[in-house]
Structure 1
């Protein structure tokens, strides 16, 4: 990769980490988008730095990308590059953003499949509790669904984050933002069983002494491992839905909404920065709006 680009990418990574508090995962995604552009320039022997690249060249790159990736990935690349060039403007390296006039493809908000209560019960009942991993997996899935966590939040829950006497767990979300999420007595019970009966028998690695959910080697679980556990259970019960750990989070929000919870409370529990993200769940079940109208509008009294 062109040295000119490497230097700017490094500085941008520091900015994302220190100024914006982004996770390594998000920083890697941004970096990948910029590297794609840099690689395009090298392959086409275009000698331009982040400071001298023009709108026309970026436009040709986006056109080239659009033939290779789906609209969702294309929109992400455009958004990532816009952020990079905005950073260069912010640091006084450039006065304009070459992506200013480039439109990202319009995307419908893609909703994951939702599981109903019966699906969730069937998945959890399919766990083989005769193995140590079974107790752990039950506790993990109950926590995913019971607290609406992201998979990255689940794998990094610490024992010191459990405030069971108060009925909460402390969750570290995107950008290291912390929030307290209520946890039901049932979920607490399954965590306690795993914590007391299974976890002490693992060869716990020193640096993971406080990490709640561990693999059999006593280390923190990977996100991929959680995906695999869920996919295997879905196969076991012949569930014909596309599901992932996020499906449990989505179902948590949908079921709360269907049972009359208000969006602001759901937003706080999910740790959404903006309520517009939470509003996606409103598209799931319109019945709820009808009930709100019947219950709360004075003309219906």
Structure 2
């Protein structure tokens, strides 16, 4: 059996997070022993007593939420090691913790327009035409797959499954890995890029790399910032890459359920996905929260 620390390391949590989660687990075990239960056997109703205990210790709602979040991970660990058959607090939320207000999001047709409006042809300099085509592929990954800068930087040739029309996004320190569908036109442009454009850019730069996009270091972040500036000229509502990703996730939520969007976005926790639920669902969440026993 893997111990909890090994499990967290495998999930790529940072050292400080692992330390925090192990501390939360240890304190929960101590409380469980005093209350004649255990993490392996506790049920939802009994766990509510632990929350009441945390509240009595004058923890803020934000701190209580954090502690519950870390214990959700511990229950997932027990599930993975077959010490439990369920996570008793998987859907538990705390009323009153302020939601993060998202960006002024773009509609799906506005996102797509950013892609189709990106100029690649009427460019005099041959090399700049090549980099413009590279940049349009990056725009596609922003507006269709909702990738962030880190994911774009770390994308490698082996992650491309172009003949299957898919792309694999590796897990990060705060995200899960996932395989995403590419649009047919993305596949066509990707094939041209890999076979011709990328090779020419590599030759010009005199470098070797397995990364998909060249330059393949922090300079790609500068390239993406330049792309965003151009996108702002197409649509003045464009703010930054975070807003574009928020827009993609928000639009996914109009077509898929929360769990499906959690997978598509690579979110570790369902709560991360819930932050993107549109205002017209806020009243429903409030009804759910008001009926919840934790106040």
TM-score by length of 1: 0.56
Question: Which structure 1 segments of 5+ residues have no match?
Answer: 1-13, 31-79, 290-301
Across the aligned residues of Structure 1 and Structure 2, the Cα RMSD in angstroms comes to: 3.8
Q: Deviations over 1:172-224 (max 9, x none)?
A: 13237432122221221222222223111123679852211112xxx345463
Q: CA 1:109 to 1:179, structure 2 compared with 1: closer, same or farther past 3 Å?
A: same
Aligned position for 2:69: none
Question: Which structure 2 segments of 5+ residues have no match?
Answer: 31-56, 64-96, 124-128, 285-295
Q: Is 1:198 matched up with 2:197?
A: yes
Q: Is 1:255 matched up with 2:251?
A: yes
TM-score by length of 2: 0.57
| Local SS of the residue matching 1:170 | strand
Aligned position for 2:40: none
Contact 1:152 1:223 in 2 (8 A): no
Aligned position for 1:182: 181
| Local SS of the residue matching 1:181 | strand
Q: Is 1:167 matched up with 2:165?
A: yes
Question: In the comparison of the two structures, how many residue pairs are matched?
Answer: 209
CA distance in 2, matches of 1:137, 1:273: 29
| Local SS of the residue matching 2:210 | coil
Aligned position for 1:156: 154
Aligned position for 2:221: 224
Q: CA 1:119 to 1:17, structure 2 compared with 1: closer, same or farther past 3 Å?
A: same
Superposition deviation, residue 89 in structure 1: 8.2
Q: CA 1:117 to 1:88, structure 2 compared with 1: closer, same or farther past 3 Å?
A: closer
Contact 2:101 2:275 in 1 (8 A): no
State which of 89, 99, 103 in structure 2 corresponds to 1:108. Answer: 99
| Local SS of the residue matching 2:144 | helix
CA distance in 1, matches of 2:278, 2:59: 29
Q: CA 1:173 to 1:193, structure 2 compared with 1: closer, same or farther past 3 Å?
A: same
State which of 212, 223, 230 in structure 2 corresponds to 1:233. Answer: 230
